[in-house]
Structure 1
């Protein structure tokens, strides 16, 4: 048991003339102090710890303390933890960059003066994650500063203009640690700016690249083929349009990823009608996909979308999203239920073609215990009731709304129903006259 003196922070040494020595937090080794500081928030490290003394100021800059810290410029709604800090003015952001030199993650949600980015590159050289606004202009000198002074960047989100020139693309390709590149569409006065996309230098560089989002750019199919072949052993996640140059389907290039691609998102469906079946069949050949998101609009031929999940199915798929799936039909859901046995999360939104029979097939998905989303779907509001009973742990997002139907003009007049729920024959008998309501609708 500890003595009273030990509880009070006083330590006695042996001997007749006992020497009294007081201990304090200053006697703690650096490793323990850093461990204590790791439990403090972004603001506490920056505004309190570093102002106590020189030693604490030095320890507060330790890279271990900043590995999970984020700074956001422009908005504060994204800062929902103690590890985040936000500021609205560029002046405040510059002060942060000069003080927190071990900062790793920065999100800039609006366009800023190039001077702010220059200060960021010069002071925060341990930066690993940088998210810039889509409209942020980046001169070649700014790109070079970023590459040379923040060479440890692993995740970069920037305007799709980042690769608009050969030398800028060459500069980006020198980021040896880059793992994730997300390119955002640039709009000027609400008009899409189409620029040449220089891709080959990126294919020859960035050896650790595992994820790329091409945004809404057009690119030469030859350059895309060169890029995909160069990254076939490293790239795991790809977000891209169904057709890159507006004429040919890119899916013919994807079979090289049959054994490596784990996440795929396809959007802006513009496949020619006679190529649709081949396109969805190609998706189904990517056997190791674990996450798949793809648009299935109305113009998809009947039965085509189901081909992505037949012929063996996607046995490893865990997450499937069919946003704006206006073209999703019963046979698509049936194929998913039978061809994706490990599916845990399913999202089908904005479709009007699903019947209760299709939802009953979902019961086959024994691992679907995370989420089912039916936002914007129309049909039988009770279609998912049985799923709730059979899968009590399943979270169902959204509600199925009753489908709006027009009158059946081919039905006999005495069987038509008006907007008030009364038959027209009843109204005729009451009024003694014929009431024309051929243009009416009911909910």
Structure 2
């Protein structure tokens, strides 16, 4: 391999595991060490400490990969010295995820802001959200594009990030409380740059009548998430959402309507025909009549996710066939769905993405049919029993598959999945530790 040019070595190293890049390749010789620190090799790699890693081990990893661009501490609270090492070592850091209870001092926030100027994504812990001084520092992150806020029952001041963060495009604030005037100020300041917004679940003031119209200033908004019901304001909501002509994705949790007429106001006359992705969660009155309205009025839908929709039936699945561009489907918490309904998906030839979760009416017959969805690129399971899933047939039948995601699933055959990983090297696997623990494995088998 010594005859290979650096560009070839770089390509080879890009296929190596995270562990090899940290502990093995850099120690071969100086040339390998230099090539292994090229930024392109680290573009799609995230450092997630293992459960058994202590703070000293985490620091040693950080020091050996200075080109690291993404760090996920979301599953553990780390010591202050770890964050100091991160700031002083990883100048190329782009994405930082912290535990929701992580305490971070103003001094460390300033260090991150000064030494890691490329940070684009930051999730803000509860403790940081409620500190005016710390929010002022967050506002100084010049390249920050995406902020994800953790849950907080205290009112959060958005003004510092409204006045700062000049490149901010995404605010996910679904589980915090804000003052209505603060939200209006934030939206007016970011109206030209904001692309993604998840509205806070608690806003002071005359809730819907005041909140809904202020969205109309967001002329560049492409994705909107809402965490409350429309409370007898469907016409007002329809006018506002219909005016957002750049809106492509709508996610609604705890959706509640009082009649089919409310849905007609919202979706009728192709009011939201520009949507390409729609997600409902906890829509307890969802039924076939609602499906009919959506199918007729949102002809450009490419993605549809329906979670905990109690009246979701096999007939619903059959009606989705009329969405000619549909290639992404997510179904979770819908017990009325059966194997017959899943067979309807075979008629959606362009299906590329499938998420199944908590659908207790499905049997092994559905799993056997899965391999007939030959164009699948992404397959996700959440809170679903995977008993009798024919992993051994995937490599022959699902040749376009590129990602498998498993979260809190029972009856996982870890050995069969590891064998599949060897047969399909182009597929990335994401398997949470809970699913592996339930399968009898105490350490992560898919790092």
What TM-score, normalized by structure 1, do the two folds share? 0.72
**Matched ranges for 1:284-295 at <5 A:** 284-295=242-253
- Of residues 75, 91, 94, the one that matches 2:56 is 91
Q: Aligned in 2, Cα 1:396/1:221: closer, same or farther, shift over 3 Å?
A: closer
Please state how far the C-alpha of 1:336 moved relative to its aligned partner. 0.7
Higher alpha-carbon Rg: 1
Task: Indicate if the aligned counterparts of 1:143 and 1:168 stay in contact, CA closer than 8 A.
Answer: yes
C-alpha separation in 2, matches of 1:136 and 1:367: 42
Q: 1:307 to 1:36 in 2, by over 3 A?
A: same
Deviations 1:210-241 (A, max 9, x none): 11111411111111111111111111111123
Match among 184, 194, 207 for residue 225 of structure 1: 184
Q: Distance in 1 between matches of 2:348 and 2:258?
A: 31
Question: For 2:87 and 2:45, how far apart are their aligned partners in 1?
Answer: 17
Q: Equivalences for 1:180-329 in 2 at 5 Å? A: 180-186=146-152, 194-241=153-200, 243-245=202-204, 247-249=206-208, 250-257=211-218, 259-267=219-227, 269=228, 271=230, 273-298=231-256, 300-329=258-287
- Are the aligned partners of 1:306 and 1:336 in contact in 2 as well (CA < 8 Å)? no
Structure 1 stretches lacking a partner, 5+ long: 1-23, 76-86, 187-193, 403-443
CA deviation string 1:13-69 (max 9, x = no partner):
xxxxxxxxxxx81x6654454444333332222222211233333333232322222
Partner residue in 2 for 1:40: 16
Please give the alpha-carbon distance, in whole angstroms, between the structure 1 residues aligned to 2:30 and 2:320: 62
Pair 1:53-2:53 in alignment: no
Aligned counterparts of 1:174 and 1:105: Cα–Cα separation in 2: 20
- 1:349–1:377: 8 Å Cα contact kept in structure 2? no
CA–CA distance in structure 2, aligned partners of residues 97 and 294 of structure 1:
39
> Between Structure 1 and Structure 2, how many residues are aligned?
356
Correspondences of 1:55-74 after superposition (within 5 Å): 55-74=31-50
* SS of structure 2 residue aligned to 1:115: helix
8 A contact 2:62–2:86 mirrored in 1 = yes
Check whether the contact 1:328–1:351 (CA below 8 A) recurs between aligned residues: yes
Does 1:115 pair with 2:81?
Answer: yes
1:318-357 alignment runs, 5 A limit? 318-353=276-311
Cα deviation, 1:77-134, whole Å, max 9, x if unaligned, reads xxxxxxxxxx632111010111111111110121111111111111111111110010
TM-score normalised according to structure 2 size:
0.71
Contact 2:281 2:309 in 1 (8 A): no
Please say if residues 174 and 226 of structure 2, whose CA atoms lie closer than 8 Å, have aligned partners that are also in contact: no
**Residues 216, 243 of structure 2: 8 Å contact kept:** yes
Unmatched segments (≥5 aa) in structure 2: 363-447
CA RMSD of aligned residues (A): 3.0
Q: Say whether the 8 Å CA contact 2:270–2:298 is kept in structure 1.
A: no
Find the counterpart in structure 2 of residue 364 from structure 1: 322
